[in-house]
Amino acid sequence: MTSGSDNNGNSNGGSKKRPLVAILSGAGISTDSGIPDYRGPNGVWRRDPEAEKLVTYAYYMSDPEIRRRSWLMRRDGPALRARPNAAHEAVVRLERAGVPVRVITQNVDGLHQLAGMPERKVLELHGTARAVQCTRCKERSSMEAALERVAAGDPDPACESCGGILKSATVMFGEGLDPAVLGEAVAVTKACDVFIAVGTSLQVHPAASLAGLAADHGARLVIVNAEPTPYDDRADELVREPIGTALPALLERIAAG
């Protein structure tokens, strides 16, 4: 890939292009923001296997009690109150330094965008918890408005347009990823020069397979994660230090060239 412009489309006078950096982020990047991970040693699914039913499409659609519990989980959970941490902010600094950056995230918390990453540079593989979607007519609305209805006494709010079942605009277990978003993520992965997998167990597919795809296409693969992953043997660099300090240091090195 060659380019005569920088990350913002400005002419760079023919200088050497900066590497395209793809960052695959998982739950571990948001734990410093108070959002627990799911598959780590103290992850949500390990502590409460029943909680997985609350985000499983078949259970959600067939059981009103599961839906009521799901709405309470959304209301009481930390995701909507969380703020970006040092790792999210480091990604934004890299992008603002003129390095071409694309974030591919498994997270639904929206913290990359809250930190300042442009929406168009963040691919949310698993959707967003900040919106709700009707399972029948597909209309979207804000999570905030839906939770206001829950607070007003509606434990399982229905779509106001068609009466269909509402769910968070996330990809639940049993649902497929948006093919357009996944396709763009694959294209970015194949084109990047550096692929950083941070805070992800690399066990959930198809997102996990992006790490191997990047290596197959010649990218430098860096894995930043406290626990071993299935792709460690493919990595050019493994980082086990805490993400809040390790990722900023890594991205500063990349920004410095």
pLDDT in tens, 57-94: 999 999 999 999 999 999 998 888 999 999 999 999 99
What pLDDT does residue 38 have? 61
Is residue 204 domain-shared with residue 185, that is, in the same domain? yes
Domain count, the chain: 2
* Cis-peptide, bond into residue 206, ω within 30° of zero: yes
Residue with tokens 């709700």: 132
Question: Closest Cα partner for 29 from 176, 226, 213?
Answer: 226
Is residue 192 domain-shared with residue 212, that is, in the same domain? yes
Per-residue confidence at 121, pLDDT binned at 50, 70, 90? Answer: very high
Is residue 212 domain-shared with residue 116, that is, in the same domain? yes
> Mean pLDDT across the chain, nearest whole number?
90
CATH of the domain at 237: 3.40.50.1220
Is residue 8 domain-shared with residue 113, that is, in the same domain? yes
> Tens of pLDDT along 198-212?
999 999 889 999 999
What pLDDT does residue 40 have? 53
Asked which of 45-49, 109-113, 162-166 is least confident by mean pLDDT, the reply is 45-49
Give the residue ranges of the annotated binding site for Zn(2+): 134, 137, 159, 162
What pLDDT does residue 22 have? 98
**Average pLDDT for 245-250:** 98
Q: Let me know: does 172 contact 60? Beta carbons within 8 Å.
A: yes
Rounded-to-integer distance, Cα 95 and Cα 89, Å: 10
Q: Per the residue annotation, which of 88, 126, 205, 217 is the catalytic one?
A: 126
Taking CA atoms, 184 is separated from 13, 119, 125, in Å, by 29, 14, 10
> Tens of pLDDT along 15-44?
467 899 999 999 999 999 999 876 555 555
Boundaries of domain holding 203 = 1-35+85-126+178-257
What pLDDT does residue 41 have? 52
What pLDDT does residue 8 have? 40
pLDDT above 90: percentage of residues in the chain: 83
> Tens of pLDDT along 144-186?
999 999 999 999 999 999 999 999 999 999 999 999 999 999 9
**Average pLDDT for 226-239:** 96
* Cα pseudo-dihedral 179, 51, 75, 145, rounded to 10: 30
What pLDDT does residue 79 have? 87
Amino acid at 48: D
Give the residue ranges of the annotated binding site: 134, 137, 159, 162
- Whether residue 6 is predicted with pLDDT greater than 50 in this model: the reply is no
Is residue 156 domain-shared with residue 238, that is, in the same domain? no
Is residue 107 domain-shared with residue 185, that is, in the same domain? yes
Is residue 107 domain-shared with residue 136, that is, in the same domain? no
DSSP letters, 68-101, are: HHHHHHHHHSSTTT----HHHHHHHHHHHTT--E
Considering only residues 48 and 78, tell me which one the structure prediction assigns the higher pLDDT.
78
What pLDDT does residue 44 have? 55
Rounded-to-integer distance, Cα 220 and Cα 253, Å: 14
- Whether residue 14 is predicted with pLDDT greater than 90 in this model: the reply is no
CATH of the domain at 153: 3.30.1600.10
HEC profile of 132-178:
EEECCCCCEEEHHHHHHHHHCCCCCCECCCCCCEEEEEECCECCCCC
- Over its C-alpha atoms, the chain yields an Rg (Å, rounded) of 19
Is residue 147 domain-shared with residue 205, that is, in the same domain? no
* Cα pseudo-dihedral 22, 106, 35, 72, rounded to 10: 150
What pLDDT does residue 46 have? 55
Per the annotation, the verdict on 217 as an active-site residue is: no
